[in-house]
A and B are shown apart, each in its own frame.
Chain A
Amino acid sequence: MAGRSSNPISVPSAAGDDGPQAGASVRAGAPVSAPISEGAPISEAEALARLAQSEDPSQQYYGAWWLGRMRSQHPEAVPLLRSALRQRRARDPGAGVEENAVARNAARALGKLAPLALAAVDDLLEVLEDPDDGLREAAARALGDLRAEAAVQPICRRLASGPQGAGALRPGTPRLMEPCEALLEALGEIGQGAEPVLAVVEPFVHHERPLIRSAAARALLQLSGEQRWGTLLVELLEHPQLQVRRAALMDLGAAGWRPALEPIRRTLAENSLKLMALRGLVERGTGEPAEPLLLACMDELL
């Protein structure tokens, strides 16, 4: 589901009942992206040209975002994004620009450009080993979006040390040693539920952070279809923090867990997010409650 992109422009529908100006990211830990002025609409040729030049990184950043957002199928898009993936640039606090901003946005865009972007899987796997954890996060999400089975082993390797290792707090920062949420979610999206993969994911349902527990339960639900993981996500819909309830909504939607219809309807969160979750139940789920009931509930939330 496209509902949790980390690009600020692609999440305005998350503003929901928080009021239209609250463009807040659905989850904490989403990278702080460079400020972008939407400005006048640009053409595909213009987006490619902005990405291709190297004078102005903010233009490259916008060009990369545009190509992903518009699902560009231009033959130049993927090659340009692959070379943008190699750009490294320190964070510029004054300009509010994140570290390796262009490379991160290139990774995000590649995630949206299947099937052409399958040519970039090896580049993304390389980036999955980068020292910048924000860049690893973007690469993991893209590999998940591309359903890149080649990523399962490398991702499992990064998570294998478990909640006490990969999931430990990075000293002096609010971040974890690994971008666990993105790595777990990617495993769920790729959908290879072999026993060793489940064994890597399962310890994370005991992580101290509820958002990590939610991501792990989502992946396990997607990989195994076992009800207990759906139950865990439904419990998180009652968490006192709005941010956790929002994440559980997105995760239930991503897994298409239809038994969650009533708890989704009842939880305290924006209708916009409930609608996104219910869309996931309709499109990704099967069985009961059936579609007429799901659609009737969506109609009420409009």
Chain B
Amino acid sequence: MTPTDLPPAEQTPTEQLVEAVRLADSSQALLLATRELAASGDPGAAQVLVEVLGFNNPGAAVAAVDGLIRLRGAAVEALLRLDAQNYGARAWAVRALAGIGDVRGLELLEEALGSDVAASVRRAAAKGLGSLELHHLSTAEQERILQRCLQALLAARGDGEWVVRYAVAVALETLAERLQSRGHSLQALLDGLDILTQPAEGNPPVVQLRARLAVERIQRP
């Protein structure tokens, strides 16, 4: 919301909720106010919910992420405008973008999966890259984006944390359905999954099991 959008006189219900977030003077008050604002589903809440991501209040940030995901596309611009220096806020933003699945978040998700220091952020980014919404794009554009997602996920199959590799297996399974329905070869994707099914040092049974399940589902006629 830009200042010029503001109505002159009375506050709308959303503005009252925004004000409650801004005036919150304890972490509990912030949490409650954020939850209410998040539940409003009003696009006018996006900017303030994004600000909450930087307040170093995990409970409120979880509520804000939920609210931003509910706003879907209407939250994306505010999320992408976020200050790159505020690492904590950016990590939460990655989760929100992964949950929203908007292609405008592609670059940030790729970057997060490839280089974020927190496994929980890389995990969310991987999942998001498997489920971007593409139906509104041209066929050529869909192709281009699917290939980028595939490359990013394949590159992350060697991630040091099991939970990220687990998320990669899940995302590759989702991606396979979409590639398959467009008549693409799945060889590179299956080769990538195959590595995750191996009982190598540091690759725990749960990841192997999930990757095998993905392979089975993809190959099921």
Contacts and interface: CB of A to CB of B under 8 A. Distances in A.
Interface stretch (B2-10, B183-191, B204-212): B204-212
A62 B56 CA distance: 30
B58 A22 contact: yes
B32 interface: no
Contacts of A283: 204-206
A12 interface: yes
B62 interface: yes
Given A18-B58, A19-B92, A20-B116, A302 B209 contact: no
B118 interface: yes
Contacts of B127: 302
A272 B87 contact: no
A271 B58 CA distance: 13
Interface stretch (B23-31, B37-45, B145-153, B159-167): B159-167
A292 to B, nearest CB: 8
Nearest to B56: A19
A271 B119 CA distance: 12
B124 interface: yes
Contacts of A19: 56, 58, 61, 88, 91-92
Dominant secondary structure of chain B at its interface with chain A: helix
Contact of B117 (A20, A279, A302): A20
Interface string A269-287: 0111001100100110000
A272 to B, nearest CB: 5
A272 B118 CA distance: 11
A13 B117 contact: no
A229 to B, nearest CB: 23
Given A71-B201, A302-B127, A20 B163 contact: no
Interface size of B as a range: 20 to 34
A270 to B, nearest CB: 8
A282 B205 contact: yes
Nearest to B89: A19
B120 A16 contact: yes
Interface in B109-128: 116-121, 123-124, 126-127
Contacts of A173: none
B94 to A, nearest CB: 9
A275 B91 contact: no
Interface string B117-145: 11111011011000000000000000000
B195 interface: no
B58 A17 contact: yes
A200 B206 CA distance: 34
Given A13-B120, A20-B117, A291-B209, A302 B92 contact: no
B213 interface: yes
A15 B120 contact: yes
A37 interface: no
6 contacts: A13-B161, A20-B88, A272-B119, A275-B163, A275-B166, A295-B206
Interface of A: 12-13, 15-22, 71, 270-272, 275-276, 279, 282-283, 291-292, 295, 298-299, 302
Interface of B: 56, 58, 61-62, 87-88, 91-92, 116-121, 123-124, 126-127, 161-163, 166-167, 170, 201-202, 204-206, 209-210, 213
